[in-house]
Structure 1
């Protein structure tokens, strides 16, 4: 079984500034995206979020206005002060394609992208 620290090392975190919303039930929080990887997201919130470890939510990361968005279920894995780390649960094909392109552009080397995708699909099937 892998731990969040082990997972963090397998996936490159991409610093990315995009309008991000986190929805849990009827609550929608406007948050700041700090970074994103194939494994999860790290956000910052100006106000405390009423979430406990393991709580599930839905994240929307607006890549290009409202026309291109990564939309994914997430679960809270850690929090420290005003920062919250979430595990990405299940990306749909469109969101996975957008995230793949974002990582690809930031890594700049196809072999690194292939390694990350290998880890992603190996982790999902374990």
Structure 2
């Protein structure tokens, strides 16, 4: 188990949806591997020439009108994957993300624990 998995307090759920990372005027389409209430893991796009000192906006397209938008920071880069932590998320995006994670977690008590932890962070 990697150090990142041992420290993870929020369960990630595998989810396939069109996703992009944006930084200023630049955007990279990425393959979403999984996401949680506090972050996401994506495949590194090619070419990957972002400014790693700056934050990104992650946009997960759930449907024609529904999107999860998060301000994210790159936390780790391993092999061909990029791990991001959420710095800010608006209430509508949080509602969509909460519902998506809730539907994919088998244990409702786990969802409540994660929400409490998110509030404490």
TM superposition score normalised by structure 2: 0.89
Cα offset, 1:114, TM superposition: 0.4
Are 1:62 and 1:68, in contact at CA under 8 Å, matched by a contact in 2? Answer: yes
| Bigger Cα displacement from structure 2, 35-44 vs 48-57 | 48-57
**Structure 1: where are the runs of 5+ without partners?**
none
Cα offset, 1:52, TM superposition: 5.3
C-alpha spacing 1:6/1:34, structure 2 compared with 1 (3 Å): closer
TM superposition score normalised by structure 1: 0.85
**Structure 2: where are the runs of 5+ without partners?**
none
State the aligned residue count: 119
Quote the residue 2:76 is aligned against: 78
Looking at structure 2, the residues matched to 94 and 79 of structure 1 have their Cα atoms a distance apart, in angstroms, of: 29
Quote the residue 2:35 is aligned against: 36
| Bigger Cα displacement from structure 2, 53-62 vs 69-78 | 53-62
Are 1:8 and 1:39, in contact at CA under 8 Å, matched by a contact in 2? Answer: no
Question: Would you say 1:119 and 2:114 are equivalent positions?
Answer: no
| Bigger Cα displacement from structure 2, 74-83 vs 13-22 | 74-83
